[in-house]
């Protein structure tokens, strides 16, 4: 019997076992990793001890928590991720690339399974940690 792969949240937190989906570029878009790279507990802890939160520098993916997540809408079974719904309802950038980005999790991605290629076309514009950064954080980002 083949073990079913979990559905993955493409906008997760930095934690043990998370997949590094990509890096956040200075223009606040995502450059996707060309392969899956899982972080372990020590890597997650090291990333969290940086002056800038890891979610401002990387996008992570981990199993979708469904109704255990604050972003889950419409209750329990049969619900959906509210993040991608909000993103798709928001005004879109004037230019959307015609080709989908390479993505290491697409076949398991909650957003792709929920909204198909439409989700992939805007995914690169989602940064998990959108809190305003301080001057010190900005200086450190420039130094990276």
- Report yes or no: 83 and 61 within 8 Å, Cβ to Cβ: no
pLDDT above 70 as % of the chain: 85
- State the Cα torsion 55-58-59-64 to the nearest 10°: -60
What lies within 8 Å, CB to CB, of 44 at 6+ separation is 14, 15, 16, 18, 54
pTM of the model: 0.83
CA 36/CA 96 separation, integer angstroms: 25
User: Checking DSSP bridges between strand 8-12 and strand 58-63, what pairing results, if any?
Assistant: antiparallel
Question: What pLDDT does residue 65 have?
Answer: 93
Which strand (E) or helix (H) includes residue 1? Answer: none
Q: Domain extents for the chain? A: 8-92+99-143
Summarize pLDDT for 121-134 with one digit per residue, the tens. Answer: 999 999 987 565 55
Summarize pLDDT for 41-93 with one digit per residue, the tens. Answer: 999 999 999 888 999 999 999 999 998 999 999 865 678 999 999 999 998 87
């Amino acid at each position: 019997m083949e073990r079913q792969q979990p559905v993955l949240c493409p906008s997760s937190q930095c934690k043990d076992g998370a997949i590094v989906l990509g890096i956040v570029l200075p223009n606040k878009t995502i450059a996707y990793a060309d392969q899956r790279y899982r972080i372990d507990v020590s890597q997650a802890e090291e990333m969290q001890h940086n002056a800038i939160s890891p979610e401002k520098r990387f996008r992570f993916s981990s199993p979708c928590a469904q109704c255990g997540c604050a972003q889950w809408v419409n209750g329990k079974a049969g619900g959906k991720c509210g993040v991608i719904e909000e993103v798709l309802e928001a005004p879109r950038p004037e230019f959307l690339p015609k080709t989908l980005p390479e993505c290491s999790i697409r076949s398991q991605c909650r957003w792709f399974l929920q909204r198909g290629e439409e989700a992939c076309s805007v995914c690169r514009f989602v940064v998990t940690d959108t809190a305003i950064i301080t001057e010190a954080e900005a200086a450190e980002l420039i130094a990276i």
